[in-house]
Amino acid sequence: MKKLLLLTTGGTIASAEGENGLAPGLGTDEFLHHLPGSRLDYQLDTRQLLNLDSTNIQPEDWVLMARAVYEEYDQYDGFVLTHGTDTMSYTSAALSYMLQGAKKPIVITGSQIPITFEKTDAKRNISNAIRFACEPAEGVFVVFDGRVIQGTRAVKLRTKSYDAFESINFPYIASVSDNGVDYNGDIPKASEQPFELTDTLCTEIGLIKLFPGIQPEMFDALGRMYKGLVIEGYGSGGIPSQGRNIAEKMNELTDQGLSIVMTTQCLEEGEDMELYEVGRQVSGMIRAGNMNTEALMPKLMWALGKTSDPAEVKKWMETPIANDLTF
């Protein structure tokens, strides 16, 4: 019999109608009352960590979740975390970096409609998450709408539909239903490194999406505020240098020791800064490859939490971890 730990954090799945709209409100006992039956043979223990709309989830909450899994790791065969959908992708990536080497499934799920509503997707999603948590897969995963997504590759694309999440630039791990789990390839295995918790995060980072007309002077202020930046450039990674010279400002910031990650605004296929002149005019940039922004942000916090040396940060950011980067 598999022994699982369910950690609840709030989100739509645990929400109820209030005076000002939906808000997390279900306690653990009431939440358990709505869980569907299962043909699986497992023991499910529960613990409420948080009761937040995921809009209000902060990096400090990622640390709380990671520590909860780490502290109970030897007592359980798998873990399920319920979470709001809006920041689920950031959380799943953050846990992937903080809990490297996990040899058990750590599964995150939620819903678009509260579990107490008649036409909810919550019961299916949590049933599927529990089923996958009984599997021999290793690492952090998002289970949603019958699909299993690597924790570093999940992105929320839809605000209302049941199929809210997609796996970006990486194959789906598996499909899951009442009949079982159908893997798309080999069962995922963690790296050979020992399981460890690395929960020191540096939150002094920023995210900038370039747009025509963006003012170069803004980067002077950012350099005083942050230790790291993720820049979403155009196309393959283009950065303006004429009219308003953003490339010059970015070179100044890297010379000052700021860690800057260059990615693309395009959701699929990643950056290639070597392709065009407008990408080659900056130096010292950290290459994002085909990582998504939801993974880049917690990874940069994690890397800067390990070291303040820009060369070391660049090395960690460009090192594939938990299948977050394939080029």
Helix axes 310-317, 293-306, angle to 10 degrees: 140
87 is a catalytic site residue: no
Q: How far is CA 278 from the centre of its chain?
A: 30
Q: CB within 8 A of 54, min separation 6: which ones?
A: 9, 10, 11, 83, 84, 85, 86, 87, 88, 91, 110
What secondary structure letter does DSSP report for 73? G
For this structure, is 12 an active site residue?
Answer: yes
Is 85 marked as binding a ligand? yes
Contact (CB, 8 A) for 231 and 273: no
Q: What is the pLDDT of residue 275?
A: 67
> Tokens 């520590």 belong to which residue?
67
Pairwise CA distance, residues 24 & 12, whole Å? 7
- Element of type H or E holding 247: helix 246-255
Cβ atoms of residues 64 and 49 within 8 Å:
yes
Domains of the chain in sequence order: 2-183 (3.40.50.1170), 205-317 (3.40.50.40)
Give the CB-side neighbour count of residue 114, counting CA atoms within 13 A: 17
Contact 204, 300 (CB under 8 A): no
| Helix runs in 10-135, H state only | 28-33, 59-72, 88-98, 122-133
The secondary structure of residue 238, as a DSSP letter, is B
Tell me the C-alpha to C-alpha distance, in Å, between residue 135 and each of 105, 152, 156, 278, 296.
Answer: 7, 19, 24, 47, 28
Residues 6+ apart with CB under 8 A from 128: 109, 143, 146, 176, 177
- Check 8, 9, 82, 85 and give the catalytic one: 85
> According to the model, what pLDDT value does residue 18 have?
78
Task: Provide the terminal-to-terminal Cα distance of the chain, rounded to the nearest Å.
Answer: 40
Catalytic residue among 12, 116, 152, 263: 12
Q: From first to last of its 327 residues, what are the pLDDT tens digits of the chain?
A: 999 999 999 999 988 887 788 888 777 777 777 777 777 789 999 999 999 999 999 999 999 999 999 999 999 999 999 999 999 999 999 999 999 999 999 999 999 999 999 999 999 999 999 999 999 999 999 999 999 999 999 999 999 999 999 999 999 999 999 889 999 999 999 888 899 999 999 999 999 999 999 999 999 999 999 999 999 999 988 888 888 999 999 899 999 999 999 999 999 999 877 765 655 778 789 999 999 999 999 999 999 999 999 999 999 999 999 999 998
